Each structure stands twice: as C-alpha cells, then as structure tokens.
Structure 1
Amino acid sequence: MAAADIVSLVVAGKAFAGWTDVDVEVGIDALSGAFRMAFTERWPGQPTAWEIEPGDACEVWIGDDQVMTGWIDRRDAAVTVDSHRLEVTGREKTCDLVDCSAIHRPGSWTGRRLEQIAADLAAPFGIAVTALVDTGAPFARFALQQGETVFDAIERMTRQRGVLPVTTAAGDLAFIRPGEVQAGYGLTLGENLESVSFANDVTDRFSAYHLKGEAADASRPSARAADPGVRRHRPLLIVNDDDSTTAGLGERARWEATVRAGQGQTATGEVSGWRDQTGALYRPDRLVPLKAGLLGLDATLLVASVRYSRGDQGSRSTLGLTRKEAYSLLAIPEPSAARRSATTPPGDA
C-alpha cells in the first residue's frame, strides 16, 4: 500500500495503522464528522494490546493529510480461539457542541460579533473559532434559550448572519460561505467516476411561495416567488412572525424556491481511491463538473460530503453531491425586542 493511502489513528502521540476496515466521513452538511476503524488478525498466542480507550483524544490521518481531530467514542474488542478483532469509533471534537447544553454566565451578550459569542461558548470544550468570511454586524443582544445545545445557539446566530458553521481538520469551528472553491478536477462516468446515482425529489417543492408579514391591518406586507420546476398547482403560504418588509419577504420567498429546489436534487458518486488526479484528497466544499450521460447529468455540483472507506473492494471515496443552491444563505433580520422567537430561515432564491 502506498504511503499516501495509509490510514493512521494517532492517540497520545502514537500512530496506529494497519486497519483493514475503514469508514471516515466529513462534510459541510453535519457539524461533526465520524469515523470507524477495525482490523481482524489471526494469532497463535495473545493479541497485542493497543492502548486506545473511549474518551481518548485522537487524530485521523490519510498519508500526510490530516482529515479530522476528535475523540474516541467507543472501543469494541472480540476474541476467538484463533483470532482477535478490534473496532474503534469516534467523532470530531465539535461533537461536544452538538451533544452538550449551552451553559454560560450571564447567558447573554450585548454588542458582540458572532465569532466572539461562539468563541465564548466553545472555549470550555477546547475548541477555537475562526471566521473565514465577514460575519456581519455585532448582535445588539443575544441570549441563550433554556436547554438548547451549544450548536443550536450557534446555528441561530449563523442563520441571522447568513454563514455556515463547519469543522476544520484540526477540530476547530469555522464560519464559511460554501460553494466558492473549484475542485480542480472533473467527474466523468466511465472514466474516473465508477458509479453515480441521482435523486430528483419534488416532495418539499411548491409551485408558488406566498409570504406574508405579521401585521394585522391592511398594510400587511406580502410577496410571492414561483418554482417553474413544479408543474402542478402546489401553493405554500408562510407567515413571517418577525417585523417584515415587502423586500425582505420577497427575498425569503425566492430563497424558499431556490433552496428547496436545490435540496431536492442530489447525487452520490463513487470513485476508486481517496485522491483526485492531482494527488490531493477529495474534500468537501468543492464545486466539481459531473458528466453522466446515461442519467442526463452534465452540471457543476457541490461536494457536500466525502466518505473514505476501505474494505473488501479496496479504498474508495463516496462523494455526496448537490446543487450549490441547496446551501444558499441569506441573513435573517434580528427579531425585534418585542418578539424574539426563532423563525424558519428566510432567504434568497
């Protein structure tokens, strides 16, 4: 096996390799990626003890490329009269932001930026925060809601600022706007793309989106946007429960039409190996041209997730692909002081 394809699990500075079964998945569609590694070995005597335990900090590497930094969640071991098996599973460090409650005193901030509030919430978990894009103006006021997780709180803020939270290979939190990086390679069925599936789902798409503001008088603002891809009569009425303007409702109506259409069209491609033609690992948040004439596909899609696997069929990468529009982001106006409830993200289509 080439050194570039050796998978190493690094625990306490020691690299464990030789895994025969590997599943590592990272993406922009879930804050915390996950991994599973296992090996089965025949042995004449006692198995060698591998010092890997649940709760250990770890790093996952493919060759010289760091893929993730996280924690061991579980260790399973089994023995028979002539073999032993070890399986280890874990997640990226940001799993604690997804799992754990947001606890901070006094629990509210005034005049602080998104990355500053997120850094306060993430600091107890040893997670740094970086804004790779402009996150907009400071929040006039932001307060935690009883019982919400750290990720829930951060997601509320990112929706209001039109950015996406993702995990870096070092296990830290970054704010991005996806779909701005070209992959530098293409995927063509019968060449480097071995198989592809495509789903076109209109279940959550509507022919027209009608948005109305909350005002009860005759001045109540409203807006409408259409999805020409839905050919039958399927209207959806959404009442925006924050202060609204006709322009703002129009943006949200277009966002609903565009994002729902993007989310309804997804593809899954499988390629041999873990690296593209340039020798770089396949990575999420890349725009890649995809051609599969048998499915009528000839489009540039966004790589939302990558799963690196190794098993009986060798090393393979499974790419989760979607239209870039599925991740269109539009900042939500902050709720007025009199009405601070969470809302469905308005948007831009």
Structure 2
Amino acid sequence: MSIASDISDFMGWNGEDQDEVSVYVAGMTISGWQNVSIRMGLEVMPSTARIAFTEYQPDGGYTLSVDPGMRCKVLIGTDLVITGYVSVVETDTDSNGNLMEMEIDSLSIDLVECSAEFATYQMSSTNALAICQQVSRPRGVTVTSTQGAGNTDIQQFSVILSETAYEVMERVCRLAGCIFYDQPDGTVLLSPVGATQASGSLEEGKNIEHISTRRSLRGRFSEVRAIIQNPVVLFTPPDSDDYVSQMQAVSDPVNAVATDPGVTRSRPLLIPVELGDADYAVAKQRVQWEVARRYGRSQVIDVVCDSWRDGSGKLWTPNTLVRIKRKSWQIGQIWLIAEVEFVRGEDGSRAQITLMPPEAFKPEPLLLPMQSNEAVAAANSSIGDAGADKTAVQQEDI
C-alpha cells in the first residue's frame, strides 16, 4: 500500500486539497498544523521541514508521541517532498495544552555530518557516480544520475580521512562538472544545471505577490586572464613600464582572456594555469567560467508566489528553469530556481523562491588528478643538477 493510501485511510483525506501537508511517522499521520516550513535547494543539504502542531491529534483522538531519530516522510498533497528523519522535537506547554515543533532532515543529513567510510581511501579507474555511490552507501543513501552526469572517468582519487561524505561528493562532482542535490525519496541526484523546465511562468502582478532583486559588482572583474605560474626574472624595478611587458610574457602564450562587459572600470583578475594543462584547454574554459559564475552569483531575484505549484500543477522544484516576467522588462527571461521554501501560517500558503541565472551554478572546470600527477612527475624528472649554479638575480613568483 502506498504512503498516500495510508494517509487517505487514516485521515479520510481524499486528495481534494493538493497542498495539504502530511507527515507520516511511526505509522501515524500528523495533522492539526499551526505552521509549516519546507525548504529545499541546490545548496541546501539536507532538505528540511519545520512543523508546529498540537500534541493532541483531534482527527485520531489520541496524543502524539514523536522522538528524534524516527524515520518519516513529508508530503504535499500526494507529492512526496522529503524522506528522512525527525531530528529535533520541542514542546511548549501552556493552559491551552502542548504545542510541539518538529524539525525533519532528509536522509542526506548523515552525508553532511558523518565522516566518510571506505574499504579503501584511494581509488583508481572509476567514475564520479561510482565514487559518490560508494561513499553514500554506508549511510543508507542511494545516489543516481540523470543526463549522463557523473560519468566522467576519474583515474585517481584520494579521500582525506577527516572528510565527510558530502565533502567527498562535492570534490568529485566538481571534477565531473555536475551538481548534486536531494530528491524527495531520500536519494541524491547528480545532474547538469537546469535539468528541467517549469510549465508556465512567474509573472509580476499575477502569481508573484512580492519581488526583490539584488545586483552587485562585488567579486566581478573587467578582465580575467590566465598566466603561466613560473618564477619571472625581474630585470627592472616592478614599477617600471617594462614590468607590464613581462606580465604579458607569462599570459600571451596561454591566450586565455575573458571580459565582463558589465564592469566598466579596470578590475583585472589573474588566475594560474594548472600544471599539466595541455594546450591550456582548461585555462581557456576557466576564465570564461570565472566571468559567467561571478556574474550569475551577483544577480539574485527573490519572489513570493501565491501558489506552491507551476502551471501544470507540479511543485516548484530546485534546478528547474522558469520564465520570469517583470513589468519593467520588455520580454521574459529564463532563470534557474536555486531554492524554494513552502510556507504556511496564519496568512495562508506562500512559496518563497530564490532565482539566479543558470551560470551561477556551473561547476568550475578542473584538471583531472591523474593528468596533474603525470605533469608533476614529468616536471620533476626533468630537474637536473644545473640548479646548483643558479645566478643571483631578483625573482618574483607570479
């Protein structure tokens, strides 16, 4: 029997209210809500729910007993949104009885808080998905992927003994160029950015009740340039004009430059080329990523929507592309849902949604470990005894 059927049998609920929040724990369904907050996001792990309710359940005619550590499921209508554990239980007693508050975390809480366990702490000839699955398995969390995310072969990968499983997965997914986040059934999904498209749109004056924006130039640069990180011999004082030409000598061979047209004054950023980056391919991707990522993070839109669902009746979901329309814009723009919080209180139900440009979550291009190690070995093997006769010249590490 499904969870939805159990709830229907227990409460007599027929699904007419598609936004009815239900918590299924210890074979019981909790009702009598005072307020509800359910939060999910691309950078929110674990997904969480905070729910206040009366200890006495009028629908069932019994007093509810809930303890931290119990497995539970949170549903909105018939849609499962969180599978996890009760983490915190608080009670507040007054003349009107006992009010309880319960905090629920998705199963990934153990990936975030617990140290990683492996049969071996150094792996070779595997892919990112397999590493994430291995580190999550001891915590009872399943990892899946979509659209080929995590299929990147990682020839060599070492785990730091003090790392949590989440920290391991974060490093692995950066190497694989994908993101990972919670799923309603308690699994973790590896995915590219913007895996789905929402039906309908978020439109100011219609389903958007409130909107706020944040635009910033902090952390953005007019030019991002990759340089060869070698000792540079300074034949002239650093403040002379020749110093500029020497800087060009370490950047021109790479030919990796990206500009941000939104930054009008001179704000340069130099990034080093990774050792082993053949033909500077990663450096050329990296400078473009720096500009795009920094732009994406500098543009944030927060909206309060009057519905928890999009035009097709699907709950607003992180990593979903959605068209947002503002009165001041001539045409709508496609943004990415970074975070969503479903809130219900005395003033009704609202969805608080944070949106950013998709570029904000693009993973950083990185050189795979084996390629880097091979380059280091080659560099070390080429070092001879000639270094013993070094000429005393002024040097600066760039």
Q: Normalization by structure 2: what TM-score?
A: 0.79
Residue type of the partner of 1:313?
D
Aligned to 1:65: 79
Q: Is the 8 A contact 1:290 1:297 kept in 2?
A: no
Q: 1:317 aligned to 330, 335, 351, which one?
A: 351
Structure 2 residue matching 1:85: 3-state secondary structure: strand
Measured in 1, the distance between the counterparts of 2:88 and 2:330 equals: 43
Asked if 1:128 corresponds to 2:142, the answer is: yes
Q: Is the 8 A contact 1:56 1:72 kept in 2?
A: yes
Q: 1:214 aligned to 214, 221, 229, which one?
A: 229
Residue type of the partner of 1:101?
S
Structure 1 or 2: more helix by fraction = 2
Q: Is the 8 A contact 2:199 2:311 kept in 1?
A: no
Asked if 1:304 corresponds to 2:338, the answer is: yes
Farther-moved stretch of structure 1 (269-278 vs 19-28)? 269-278
Measured in 1, the distance between the counterparts of 2:136 and 2:56 equals: 44
**Structure 1 residues 2 and 137, CA gap change in structure 2 (3 angstroms):** closer
Give structure 1 regions of 4+ aligned residues with deviation exceeding 3 angstroms: 40-43, 213-222, 294-298
**Structure 1 residues 188 and 309, CA gap change in structure 2 (3 angstroms):** same
Measured in 1, the distance between the counterparts of 2:321 and 2:152 equals: 29
Q: CA-to-partner distance for each residue in 1:96-121, whole Å, 9 max, x for gaps? A: 11111112232111211211121111
Q: Is the 8 A contact 2:83 2:185 kept in 1?
A: yes
Structure 2 regions of 5+ residues with no counterpart? 1-14, 233-248, 377-398
Measured in 1, the distance between the counterparts of 2:210 and 2:16 equals: 24
Q: Which entry has the higher C-alpha Rg, 1 or 2?
A: 2
Residue 158 (structure 1) shift: 0.7
Q: CA-to-partner distance for each residue in 1:250-270, whole Å, 9 max, x for gaps? A: 110010001110111010111
Structure 1 residue matching 2:288: 3-state secondary structure: helix
Residue 48 (structure 1) shift: 4.6
Asked if 1:182 corresponds to 2:216, the answer is: no
Q: CA-to-partner distance for each residue in 1:204-262, whole Å, 9 max, x for gaps? A: 11111122243558777532211111111111112244422433211100100011101
Q: 1:101 aligned to 115, 118, 121, which one?
A: 115
Structure 1 regions of 5+ residues with no counterpart? 341-349
Residue type of the partner of 1:16?
I
Structure 1 residue matching 2:155: 3-state secondary structure: coil
Aligned to 2:47: 33
Farther-moved stretch of structure 1 (92-101 vs 58-67)? 92-101
Structure 2 residue matching 1:293: 3-state secondary structure: coil
Residue 18 (structure 1) shift: 2.4
Q: Structure 2 matches for 1:105-120, cutoff 5 A?
A: 105-120=119-134
**Structure 1 residues 68 and 79, CA gap change in structure 2 (3 angstroms):** same
Aligned to 2:386: none
Residue 275 (structure 1) shift: 2.0
Measured in 1, the distance between the counterparts of 2:214 and 2:303 equals: 12
Q: Normalization by structure 1: what TM-score?
A: 0.89
Q: CA-to-partner distance for each residue in 1:111-144, whole Å, 9 max, x for gaps? A: 1121112111111111111121322342211110
Structure 2 residue matching 1:136: 3-state secondary structure: coil
Aligned to 1:239: 272
How many residue pairs match? The answer is 337
Asked if 1:83 corresponds to 2:97, the answer is: yes
Measured in 2, the distance between the counterparts of 1:98 and 1:297 equals: 41
Residue 40 (structure 1) shift: 4.8
Residue 291 (structure 1) shift: 1.4
Q: Is the 8 A contact 1:72 1:91 kept in 2?
A: yes
Q: 1:264 aligned to 275, 280, 298, which one?
A: 298
Measured in 1, the distance between the counterparts of 2:171 and 2:229 equals: 21
Q: 1:281 aligned to 315, 323, 327, which one?
A: 315
Measured in 1, the distance between the counterparts of 2:312 and 2:342 equals: 17
Aligned to 1:337: 373
Measured in 1, the distance between the counterparts of 2:275 and 2:24 equals: 48
Residue type of the partner of 1:196?
I
Measured in 1, the distance between the counterparts of 2:293 and 2:94 equals: 52
Asked if 1:193 corresponds to 2:222, the answer is: no
Structure 2 residue matching 1:243: 3-state secondary structure: coil
Identity of aligned residues (%): 29
Q: Is the 8 A contact 2:282 2:365 kept in 1?
A: no
Farther-moved stretch of structure 1 (291-300 vs 169-178)? 291-300
Measured in 2, the distance between the counterparts of 1:278 and 1:322 equals: 22
Q: CA-to-partner distance for each residue in 1:178-211, whole Å, 9 max, x for gaps? A: 2142211111111111111111011111111122
